[in-house]
Amino acid sequence: MDDGPDPKRNPTDSEETNDIGHRGKLQTSSAVLGVLAAIALCVIALDVATKSLVVALLDPERPVHVIGDAVTLRLVRNSGAAFSMASGYTWVLTLIALAVVVVIIRFSGRLRSGWWVLGLGLVLGGAIGNLIDRIFRDPAPLRGHVVDFISVGWWPVFNVADSAVVCGAVLLVVLSLLGFDYDGSRSGFAARRSDTAHDERDRGAADSAPSSPEERDA
């Protein structure tokens, strides 16, 4: 028998629930984008500041020895990609960097993992940092040379933006291999580890629960 509509139920409850859920998702996406932007801006600020100091203070012919010959600061104008690779393809690299920035921004709305936000934020900040050089530095817009200044042993000279890109990329690879997905879900090793932790907590709760009425009344 149909008792009819519940007079206590607001007919818009389901609509309000959907709206709340939708707003919650938007708020989460906005928070993700905010954290992503904050990380990227920190990388960009540090990259621009260090490059400006290097250009103003370092003589290309006189490197500064920080730790003997192992770590030095030397001013290098790089027309290639990170770590001075692919020289001569500056305009192609500029377009690739622009594409990377657009893809990360569009993809950010699907992120729910803080570690993925950190990794992509580092990559985004590094890509924009070097992109600023390519757009605004000599010899021409979209063909500008990137300022590199950190030399470590045999490793090619690099800058803060290069370091951020590499660290972010390595973090994303490790997260993928361990099963920590961009949407906050887990698979593989991460899922098995999570299941094991849940099982241990459940066993601990079961062991601590009273097993008889006398124990419950005690």
**Residues with a known catalytic role:** 148, 162
Distance of alpha carbon 74 from alpha carbon 80, whole angstroms = 17
What b-and-e string marks burial along 42-56, b requiring 16 or more CB atoms within 10 Å of the CB?
ebbebbbebbeebee
Q: Is the peptide bond before 213 cis (omega within 30 degrees of 0)?
A: no
Q: What type of residue is 90?
A: T
* Torsion sign, CA atoms 159, 165, 166, 171: positive
Environment class of 216 (CB within 10 Å of its CB; exposed 0-12, middle 13-18, buried 19+): exposed
Question: Cα 189 to the chain's mean position, in Å?
Answer: 21
Both structure tokens of 113: 């993992």
Angle CA(106)–CA(107)–CA(109) in degrees, nearest 5? 85
Give the Å distances, CA to CA, from 121 to 37, 93, 104, 170.
Answer: 7, 19, 9, 13
Distance of alpha carbon 28 from alpha carbon 40, whole angstroms = 18
